[in-house]
Structure 1
């Protein structure tokens, strides 16, 4: 069938929209203008700072399953209500309960001295009185994988890859890979214990970085701990003498049962499509040594503050803004996985989503996984974010952040909003994850990014392509 010619008005609208077609998802001009106003207002708004200050002061460390877990959920419910969210509710999340009670270690021979270390998540404890064994070392996870089990059996494995500071935090894949997979491989090859150079970039601080291992079967797990970077250096110097090196580990930790926590959710209800959502959030839990300011009190605060700014507009957005404070991200994305399982059949209702979970320094890059017809709207969002220093990389997929990657894997259209991670892994999973590491101005820039994109997505004419299996294989959730 021959297509009718465009009317003069339709043609002019297409030109004004920057080559958008009638089938494209487009953000109306009025919504773009409001988003610009939200962006500029957010830069002078301290809501996020007040929220993260409240969380880290009134609750502090929020280890999943600890007594502070319930206090954090109560805090989140109360904070959502105080900020004026229209709906506030929880959804249960169950997971193994791992506890840390005591940890110490030392080089026994040839040069006796103590070691600064921390037990890793899902590590079992050592036998009463500790575990003493000879150390065998590897400089990388690949070297451990290639090792003959005969050289490992009955020994404590040490793996020492070094992370370097990078804006995109790319070296975390090196450190976290050795932390998650390394203990499992060592156990399979007969090791009795595992030591890791901390997955962190603070080369000169005698503080260890904790984190989770890949153990999922407690019966096959071995005691595992991370050394501070200076202590890893010291162990390597001792090993370089070429003499047998013996280490003692004394860890009192382990899984003690199952716990049921919850994701805490707050919504700003849309006036036209209340059952369609822009999803944003952060994870509410933290590791126990610090107060969880950058990981991830900041993410929760950014999302709450962005939604609050939208709430305070004279008129509610067309679609709902859903903020999720996820449970137990640190021990294996338990909250994100439970959320995705519960809402998998509703994936088409999710307009667009992403989670903030890389600290509080500035967002510098945006990427997206959306349907082709929504690229114009993404470009409009990019235009509003550009004055904030955010570059749009159209070649990269968007993953949705750590917890919301689980919804993206089921078909939710997603952004990735990359924060500058240059400083992040100096403090990540350590006692130094405290409020003073957050720069209020950089935090406000994050809020400006989240408020502007969330509002524009909520107001868009058309959708971004969420559907079951829509983005399978784009690599963003890997």
Structure 2
């Protein structure tokens, strides 16, 4: 808030909300037999703990979530499930949504087969011994078992050992805890519109990050990009017709809590939330523009596309919702979005790991992102069209 006030934005404030807070504790794993080896793991967000002394069990490998689902009930009684997958690099990150289901539901699926814990191959594409964390969920009707992610090289090793056909024994210890209700919030700053200030164009990124790294690409970069874009417009000395609202979202990583809180707080003004775009896919260059807007607003999107083409941004699907994860609750409530799609080829090498640090960010790529968001925010806010279909 102090920084945003110093930069000269209007109406700088926090819109608070409460959340249940989970904290990581001690965590370790080792293959006991047939080939003893310590393993690099990380607890998945929201996981329950093992007993204080840890637990041991036979490690039963599955190649995929589908294969785990096909296992017979009771077949994993007293055992630990290991589940792999085949996530690949993609420019648009499309593999993540599909393979990420394993992280989200794997614990409850394994518990339904009798497992006492689940270990998954990290939902990432790197080859370092840096496991990827992220939020998981439990089904209400299933036992809650400890859930952890294994670094990709260690997952490769487990799969090589499994191919020998010998039983594997694993020791696992995880001591996370839920510390109760704490306060988070969405930090908001504005460039107030000169004619219709009650009408809002949203840009922003999310303030929270996972604890393993420093949150540089997820999502410090997005916060910096959109704040800098708004500052460019502010420094130009001109006010758009409508308000540009910069939202630095709270608690995205644990379930889009900031996005959901914003929807509830502004539900009575939904029609005035005209369009939005969030930067939350790292710090590489924008390569594609997609949108889902009304026919009346299409010329504005066309102009945005024309201006961004010289910096390498191609037109994509012009009837595609998106705009970033924190906007999902607003999109579901009917808000149009425009997405400036970044190159995510290497994003899942760093995402949710110890490797998410500032040295991975290239200043020139940030500049290109800032330019793209400044073009979008200004043209959308200075227009008088209805973006809603």
| 1:335 paired to 2:258 | yes
Q: Deviations over 1:128-185 (max 9, x none)?
A: 1101111122111111222212222321111111322221112212431111121121
Structure 2: how far apart are the matches of 1:212 and 1:356?
20
Maintained 8 Å contact 2:108/2:142? no
C-alpha displacement of 1:219: 8.2
**Counterpart of 1:259?**
182
Q: 2:75·2:114 contact (CA, 8 Å) conserved in 1?
A: no
Stretch deviating more after TM superposition (394-403 or 256-265): 394-403
Alpha-carbon distance between aligned partners in 1 of 2:189 and 2:86, rounded to the nearest angstrom? 40
**1:198 matched to 2:122:** yes
Contact 1:95-1:258 at 8 Å conserved across structures: yes
In 2, the alpha carbon distance for the partners of 1:156 and 1:128 equals: 17
How far apart in 1 are the matches of 2:118 and 2:181?
25
Structure 1 position 386, deviation (Å): 1.0
Residue number in structure 1 paired with 2:284: 361
> What pairs up with 1:268-283 in 2 under 5 angstroms?
268-283=191-206
Structure 1 stretches (4+) deviating beyond 3 angstroms?
216-220
Within the candidate set 218, 221, 230, 1:295 is matched to 218
Q: Are 2:380 and 1:454 aligned? A: no
**Structure 1: unaligned runs, 5 residues or longer:** 1-76, 471-478
Q: Is the 8 A contact 2:292 2:318 kept in 1?
A: no
How far residue 237 of structure 1 moved from its aligned partner, in angstroms, is 1.2
Deviation of 1:395 (Å): 4.5
SS in 1 for 2:181: strand
The structure whose RCO (Cα within 8 Å, separation 6+) is larger is: 1
Q: For 1:371, which of 294, 317, 320 is the aligned residue?
A: 294
The structure number with the bigger radius of gyration is 1
Q: Tell me which residue corresponds to 2:39.
A: 115
Asked if 1:181 corresponds to 2:105, the answer is yes
Q: Distance in 2 between the 1:218 and 1:227 partners?
A: 26
What is the rounded CA distance, in whole Å, between the counterparts of 1:135 and 1:447 in structure 2?
48
Deviations 1:415-451 (A, max 9, x none): 1221000111111111110001111000111110000
* TM-aligned CA deviation for residue 352 of structure 1: 1.2
Q: Which has the higher helix share?
A: 1
For 1:218 and 1:113, how far apart are their aligned partners in 2? 35
Tell me how far 1:217 sits from its aligned partner.
5.2
CA distance in 2 between counterparts of 1:428 and 1:290 reads: 9
Cα distance per residue 1:92-137 (max 9 Å; x no partner): 1222110101110001122221101101000011001101111122
Matches within 5 A, 1:315-326: 315-326=238-249
CA RMSD of aligned residues (A): 1.5
How much does 1:189 deviate? Answer: 2.6
Partner of 1:15: none
TM-score, with structure 2 as normaliser: 0.97
Q: What is the match of residue 24 of structure 2?
A: 100
Q: Secondary structure at the match of 1:134?
A: strand
Following superposition, the deviation at residue 249 of structure 1 comes to 0.8
- 2:227 matches 1:304: yes
> Which residue is 1:63 aligned to?
none
2:339 pairs with 1:416 = yes
- Number of residue equivalences: 389
- Matched with 1:80 is 4
Cα distance in 1 for residues equivalent to 2:319 and 2:384: 24
TM-score of the aligned structures, taking structure 1 as reference length: 0.79
Please name the residue that 1:12 is paired with.
none
The Cα shift of 1:287 comes to 0.5
Check whether the contact 2:111–2:142 (CA below 8 A) recurs between aligned residues: no
